[in-house]
Chains A and B, each alone.
Chain A
Amino acid sequence: MMKESYKLARNNVALLNLQTDGRFRVSGPDAEVALNQLISVDLEVLSFWKGVIGLFLTETANIMAIATIFKCEDGFYIFTEADSADDLCQYLAAEIPTRGAVFEDLRNSHEWLSVLGPRAQDVMSKSAGEDILGLPYLSFEENERLGVTLFRMGFCGEFEYRLLIPVDRGEAVATLLLEGGAEFGIGQVSPEIMHVLMLEMRSLTKADLPENSDPIQAGLHWMISFRKESLRGGEVIHKMKLAAARQSLMLRIDQSGCVTKGDRLQIEGQDVGFLSCVVYSPTLETDIGLAFIDQEFAQNGVSFDAKGRNCNTKAMGASAPLFVTKTVQSA
């Protein structure tokens, strides 16, 4: 079932209800100042109707949540994966009001759907109008035809549109997308496939990382505005970037089903790292994983002995994204 869902997303187009993902809003005249104090990117340079991917960090630069933030005229939309939704909600609900802005949790009031795959543009241009073909990556619009807020975003190397829909209209919009997308082979699939699709492109969620990870060892440098004044956790980040003990590395694992999260990686019997997540990639027909490796060995091309609880296998550092998708090929 998972394999069929995966194929639909990689070869045609899939509809996913991302019900458990975090979706929040921060508004009011002080919204930008308030949110900018908490996020790793500089929202002052973000244009209206555009988005950016950033991190919510603790004072000691531990990753609390990976989030996508979109700027609208009266505030911001904030989206995060299910694994950090509750923590981020709690954090923002406590911090934002003390900074003079208004926080809303949209999880009960709005559905959050994804249309994802090489044919996603076809489905959306038919359902939401051809104008959406001009919607750039990381931007959004109020789509009158569907009566939704329509976001162009995505982390799977495919065309992807996300729809924020008032909850009373969610089912009607989903039916419309499925009916309109039938000619393009659309099908509704479980959001569980999202993790595999994302990890193949090295789009990480908090659950892929060990407890108390920092963005430098996680290789998420590009989600940080290093020159931002009062960067939360900035002192630690600037020290860490010069002297991180470990570095994350994507791995292709020789034998699937052998190793899992937490298993050790060795060279000549010496522990040099561990796996922080492992999934099966249907495209590569093998397991892939994210590992945290001692700095001196954390490079592509190095091979490791992966020590599973029941069997051992080999693993090799690999470049991300792990392959070129149909969407990228066609673009």
Chain B
Amino acid sequence: MNSNTLQEAREIAARRRDLSDWFKRVLIERLSLQLEPEEIANDSPLFGSGLGLDSVDALEIAIAVETEFGVSITDEDLHAFRSVNTVLDFIEERMPENV
């Protein structure tokens, strides 16, 4: 594990924050959630006790991620859909420019 400089840390955090903001807006718009982006924490559970999404919502999220990032998602990949952060990790790992 390497240390970041302050500048690197700011850049990493800013990139992640942008991605997170985008994803929260998609969640709210596509799933008609009665929330503002700043009312969703990055580690909020998406299903069950958290945002209370269901399997139909999961499909909607998968379509949004595929459309926006060109990342294809299989049934096995649905394990990644646990929280906002785990979805963002999945996107960052699989984005075409990172493959």
Contact = CB atoms under 8 A, between A and B. Distances in A.
Interface stretch (A85-93, A170-178, A221-229): A221-229
Given A52-B49, A219-B42, A267 B4 contact: yes
Interface residues of B, number: 35
Interface stretch (A5-13, A274-282, A292-300): A292-300
Contact of B35 (A220, A226, A272, A298): A226
Interface string B43-75: 111001111000000000000000000000000
Nearest to B19: A299
Given A138-B48, A241-B39, A321 B82 contact: yes
A270 B3 CA distance: 12
Contacts of B31: none
A270 B39 CA distance: 29
A319 interface: yes
Given A241-B38, A297-B13, A319 B6 contact: no
Given A224-B39, A301-B13, A302-B12, 9 more contacts: A220-B41, A221-B44, A222-B45, A226-B36, A227-B34, A298-B13, A300-B88, A304-B3, A328-B82
Interface of A: 52-53, 137-138, 202, 219-222, 224, 226-227, 241-242, 250, 254, 267-268, 270, 272, 296-305, 314-316, 319-321, 324, 328-329
19 contacts: A53-B49, A138-B49, A221-B40, A221-B41, A224-B39, A242-B38, A267-B5, A268-B5, A299-B13, A299-B16, A300-B88, A300-B89, A302-B9, A303-B3, A305-B3, A319-B83, A320-B83, A320-B85, A329-B79
